[in-house]
Amino acid sequence: QVQLVESGGGLVHDGGSLTLSCAAYGFVFSAYTIAWFRQAPGKEREGVAAIRPNSGENSGHTYYLDSVKGRFAISRDDGKKAATLQMNSVTLEDAATYYCAAGVRVPDPLDLRHYGYWGQGTPVSVSA
């Protein structure tokens, strides 16, 4: 059974750091592009960060939403079938539910339409 399970969400102070984790089950994790999306209340879901598989075209390449560049870092561990999103210098605008996603044919890594597997999400709240 395919599953993506996020963890690590919670309350963080403005300017603080948080690490989100994503554990994968039931598919060949190493062959998939892994991404983090977020959705704030009343807003559309947006791509935050993505990382290509460690083999093939653009192997291991990472992609970021402009507003998180230099603050967030995505990584993957194919042996553990897991991915993380390190969030630093968090701002009030980063508050949202964060989702882990996996896709095998992903021409645009921050476009949610290319992802077939999704987790249930983990909420991130930011206090001033």
- Whether the pLDDT of residue 27 is over 90: the answer is yes
Q: Closest by alpha carbon to 27, among 109, 83, 103?
A: 103
Percent residues over pLDDT 70 in the chain: 100
pLDDT at 57: 82
pLDDT at 11: 98
pLDDT at 91: 98
Find out whether 49 and 63 touch, Cβ atoms under 8 Å. yes
Q: How far is CA 13 from the centre of its chain?
A: 20
- Whether the pLDDT of residue 56 is over 90: the answer is no
